[in-house]
Structure 1
Amino acid sequence: MLAKVEVKDSCSAWVLIGDLQVFLRIRGNRDPVSSSRSQLCDTMRLFLSIICIFSASITAGTGLQCQDCQNYASTDCTGSLAVCSGSATSCMAAVTVITSDNLSSSSIVKSCASYPQLCGVFYSITMGPIHLASKTECCATDGCNSGTPQLPPRDLTPNGVQCPFCIAEASSCTSTGNIDCTGSETRCITYSGGIYNGTQFEQKAFKGCTTENVCNVPAPPYPATLLQQGYQLSCTPGATH
């Protein structure tokens, strides 16, 4: 909230506080040399100064502050506090872990939560031997996103759904077989587009199993996620057996 003061004469002024415009005038003896009127004018000027200081304090104090950092090589990062825009009402921390056989790659992003639909979301995708899991947590106090979200243990119980599988560094890929889906991954996914690797976007195409929320809540593009603007994602029920 900003205050703007426009002095009309020695003892009156327009005060603009946000969208509220107020005219203040000291009424009394019109004699400009009147000591009582002079004191009142001094009081008004002091009052206006207090309004300006108070308004500046409101401006500095109302913005939520969140830890802001990224690390595309581990699940740990620490950054300075950043003031969120007026539309952000919470802070977020998102962890993503990709595993393939005995290898793994992790990343974490902490920032203001510009997309509240991602708050509290856990999802996973399986593309044959490659498994991706991600979890986002949100909170609503200054600097509250300093921790690291913990991924739940992977559920390898077959759920009876089969999906076509393929993966390629290209704009599309063709499946040569199906994989058995496990746990809560009950939908088949097809993806094409760029994925951020920490330094640049890499073109990827894949098919596999995924959790249903990936299909129901469209993910925003980078930097809110690792997905490049313009990506294509679709889901199908998959075959059951």
Structure 2
Amino acid sequence: MKVSFTLCILLAFIDAGSSLQCEVCHEIGESCSGPMETCDTGKETCGIMKHEAVQESKRIVITQKSCLHSNSCRADPISMNFGNGITQRNGIICCVGEACKTASDPLPPMNTVPNGLQCPACYTENSYQCSEDTVRCTGAQTQCFDIAGKITIGILPLKTAMKGCTTESECTAPKGEKGFDMDIVRFECKPASSRGHKALGFAPCVALLLPPLSRLILVQLLS
């Protein structure tokens, strides 16, 4: 009986000591700091996330740290080009414990070298349609996206339409689960085309275009 009781105490101690803790914070800027919090069951890793929105000379970066499901980890950043100097990027680095202190930047320098592909591009508010221009894709951007929906920030709904170049990983990204609402009325991806060649028709895509916080950044930047 004494052995069983001791074993129970030992197992309870091991279980309590194995709970994952991650730093939790979100701030505007290249880094953030916050308290250590115990992760909910099923969240097996810590994550450092960066969201960047750029319009010509204006640039906003928000850094987040939190507990994550391991299936949220992405090897490569997502980049998007809306044309007219408007770009948006998201990156995630997963880590645990001391490794988070020396983790690499989730958003390495952007590859701005044209890759020979192009897409229709535009961004507009208060409409589900926008006047298209053509933008040259860069780096790993091999897909064209076409999205329209209604973003709700607080109690104010905002219709938006967006098109441009993106990475393939964005077209297969899991749907976001948190943040303010975006009711999607159109979300499609297609392979980007070479100049002078007709692109394939848009095909429905199952992902959500922008993580909620990044959508908020983009709306604030363009307002």
TM-score bracket, shorter-length normalisation = 0.7 to 0.9
Cα shift readout 1:34-89 (whole Å, capped 9, x = no counterpart): xxxxxxxxxx3x54543443243133112211111112x22221111121233222
Find the counterpart in structure 2 of residue 142 from structure 1.
97
Letter in 1 for 2:31: D
Instruction: Please point out which of 99, 119, 124 is paired with 2:74.
Output: 119
Residue 132, structure 1, aligned to residue 88, structure 2:
yes
CA distance in 1, matches of 2:54, 2:92: 18
What 5-or-longer segments of structure 1 have no aligned partner?
1-43
CA contact (8 A) 2:52 2:62 kept: yes
CA contact (8 A) 2:23 2:36 kept: yes
Find the counterpart in structure 1 of residue 53 from structure 2.
98
Normalising to structure 2: TM-score of the pair?
0.72
CA contact (8 A) 1:221 1:227 kept: no
CA distance in 2, matches of 1:122, 1:52: 45
CA contact (8 A) 1:67 1:145 kept: no
CA contact (8 A) 2:49 2:106 kept: no
CA contact (8 A) 1:70 1:108 kept: yes
* 1:102 Cα deviation from its structure 2 partner: 0.8
Secondary structure of the residue aligned to 2:97 is coil
Find the counterpart in structure 1 of residue 133 from structure 2.
177
* 1:234 Cα deviation from its structure 2 partner: 1.9
When Rg is computed on C-alpha atoms for both structures, the one with the higher figure is 1
CA contact (8 A) 2:150 2:157 kept: yes
Q: 1:119 to 1:165 in 2, by over 3 A?
A: closer
* 1:111 Cα deviation from its structure 2 partner: 0.8
CA contact (8 A) 2:79 2:89 kept: yes
Secondary structure of the residue aligned to 1:165 is strand
* 1:182 Cα deviation from its structure 2 partner: 1.7
CA distance in 2, matches of 1:119, 1:211: 12
Q: CA RMSD in A?
A: 3.0
Normalising to structure 1: TM-score of the pair?
0.68
Instruction: Please point out which of 140, 153, 174 is paired with 1:219.
Output: 174
* 1:205 Cα deviation from its structure 2 partner: 2.4
Query: Number of residue pairs matched?
Result: 192
What 5-or-longer segments of structure 2 have no aligned partner?
196-223
Instruction: Please point out which of 191, 205, 216 is paired with 1:237.
Output: 191
CA contact (8 A) 2:49 2:64 kept: yes
Instruction: Please point out which of 34, 39, 51 is paired with 1:84.
Output: 39
Alignment identity in percent? 28
CA distance in 1, matches of 2:17, 2:174: 31
CA distance in 1, matches of 2:26, 2:149: 22
Cα shift readout 1:126-167 (whole Å, capped 9, x = no counterpart): 00121112211001x336435572522222222222211111
CA distance in 1, matches of 2:180, 2:194: 29
CA distance in 2, matches of 1:201, 1:98: 21
CA contact (8 A) 1:91 1:113 kept: yes
CA distance in 1, matches of 2:146, 2:44: 33
CA distance in 2, matches of 1:158, 1:123: 16
